[in-house]
Amino acid sequence: MVLWSIWKNRNSQLWEDKKQRPIEAAMLSLGWYNDFKKANGSEATQQRQVMHWTKPEQGWFKCNSDGAYIASSRRGGCGMVIRDERGDFVAAAVKPCLQLTLPFHAELMALLEGMKLAETLNYCKVIFETDCLLLVHALTQSAADLSSLGLILNEVKEIMSRHPEFRLIHAQREANRVAHVLANHAQTSCESQSWFVFAPEMIRDAILNDCNR
């Protein structure tokens, strides 16, 4: 996977005049490797058993976030949705993003926007779900991150330090469908700033199709 990432980076520089920093190529390789382990490891069968969205505990909110990324244009979108203890829709937001470096970058921005949305609504007890396992690992490391995305990672860590009851967990992609719909919608928008969506029709079906509400 590392060798393929280097080869892909070399071809992108030669034929498309696009260049990744070494740390970015390494993080992309780690993401592929984690996906491979998750799909083929001994825990894969157990993980596949829970593929639907689940309600948070009583008194808590759950914020799902997802990022979409188009490598050819380095454009993407962020989507996030908040639901309460009954599984009812509370709020959502979308944000187009430009000059992204990696799919990981889009996932990170989506999580950051989700936390800002929760802060804006003055929610204290919030579980944040992302289907990017690499992102969860990056935010649980105590060592300083010196990559190009280190400043954004530190901003997320700072928000979490201000809110001790903010929790971050990994979710299966099938349990993150609503945020996925929003992220795909955001990346096709020509707007440059986020906007809030209350009772959006475009995610109504996705919410109704989520199991165990």
Of 45-59, 88-102, 152-166, 169-183, the range with the highest mean pLDDT is: 152-166
210 pLDDT band (50/70/90 cuts)?
Answer: low
pLDDT tens across 19-67, in order? 777 777 777 777 777 777 767 765 544 544 557 899 999 999 999 999 9
- Determine, yes or no, domain membership for 204: yes
- Give the domain extent around 112: 61-209
The CATH number assigned to the domain holding 85 equals 3.30.420.10
42 Cβ contact list (under 8 Å, min separation 6) = none
Q: Which residue pairs, CB below 8 angstroms and at least 24 apart, start in 157-161?
A: 159/112, 159/115, 159/116, 159/119, 160/115
Do 35 and 82 fall within a single domain?
no
- Determine, yes or no, domain membership for 14: yes
Residue 212: per-residue pLDDT? 47
- Determine, yes or no, domain membership for 49: no
Do 145 and 77 fall within a single domain?
yes
Do 103 and 176 fall within a single domain?
yes
Cut 0.85: pTM above it: no
Do 77 and 141 fall within a single domain?
yes
- Determine, yes or no, domain membership for 53: no
- Determine, yes or no, domain membership for 48: no
Positive or negative, the CA dihedral 155, 157, 161, 165 is: positive
Number of folded domains that form the chain? 2
Task: Please report which helix (H) or strand (E) contains residue 138, including its range.
Answer: helix 133-139
Do 112 and 84 fall within a single domain?
yes
Do 124 and 169 fall within a single domain?
yes
Secondary structure (DSSP) of 20-52 = --HHHHHHHHHHHHHHHHHHHSTTHHHHHT--S
18 pLDDT band (50/70/90 cuts)?
Answer: confident
Do 26 and 106 fall within a single domain?
no
- Determine, yes or no, domain membership for 52: no
Do 39 and 71 fall within a single domain?
no
Do 16 and 65 fall within a single domain?
no
pLDDT over 90 (residue 203): no
Residue 41: per-residue pLDDT? 66
Lowest mean pLDDT across 85-99, 112-126, 195-209: 195-209
Do 155 and 101 fall within a single domain?
yes
- Determine, yes or no, domain membership for 55: no
Do 29 and 84 fall within a single domain?
no
126 pLDDT band (50/70/90 cuts)?
Answer: very high
Do 70 and 162 fall within a single domain?
yes
